[in-house]
Amino acid sequence: MPNGDFETLSDSVLCPVGGMDACPPWVSPSGGSPVYFNSCTTLQLDFSVPQNIFGFQFAQSGNGYANIGVYNDAPLNFREYLQVKLIDSLKPNNNYLVKFYINLSDSSCYAVSKIGLYFSDTAIKKSIYDASPFTNFTPQIQNAQGNHITNKDNWSLIT
């Protein structure tokens, strides 16, 4: 997976401020605005690590991490997603270890349980404001529904 730890930054960005465009080739397939945080961000403290607009959290590895909104009931039901094209396609009859880490931000009102990772052979595009976002897709890697990620101090492994 390219730039899996969000440490490779855009050539035009010395130190990122806010947007995921600083971490190519990551994009938002839903038109949302996932946020990027990095410890080098000292002038815009809202986007720094470990202290930022959502609370206090060190990066799981390296200097940065991404933030997505996975639930918001007001004013509209929306969710944010991240998408990246793999460096190479997955091969049949091969085993792959897939893992990612999540953490509930200090400012979150809701915990999440059903979060996952979906592999597709084509890029996905869907509106952030769709009332039934991404319901046609079943993640191949998924945290168990009911296993709420409530830890605000440490990162939780999904594998």
DSSP string, the chain: -TTTTS----TT-SS--EEGGGSTT-B-TTS---EEEETT--S-GGG-SSEETTEE---SSSSEEEE------SSS------B---SS---TT------EEE---TT-SS-B---EE---SS-----TT-SSTTTT---SEEPPTT--B--SSS-EEE-
| Whole-structure pTM value | 0.85
Mean pLDDT of all residues in 112-138:
77
pLDDT band at 12 (very low <50, low <70, confident <90, very high): low
Residue-wise pLDDT for 25-66, tens only, equals 998 887 778 889 999 887 777 889 999 999 999 999 999 999
Whether 72 shows a pLDDT value over 80: the answer reads: no
pLDDT over 90 for what percent of the chain? 44
What is the structure's pLDDT at 133? 53
What's the pLDDT score for residue 130?
62
What are the pLDDT digits (tens) for 100-120?
A: 999 999 999 888 888 999 999
Q: Quick one: pLDDT at residue 117?
A: 92
Indicate if the pLDDT at residue 131 is higher than 70. Answer: no
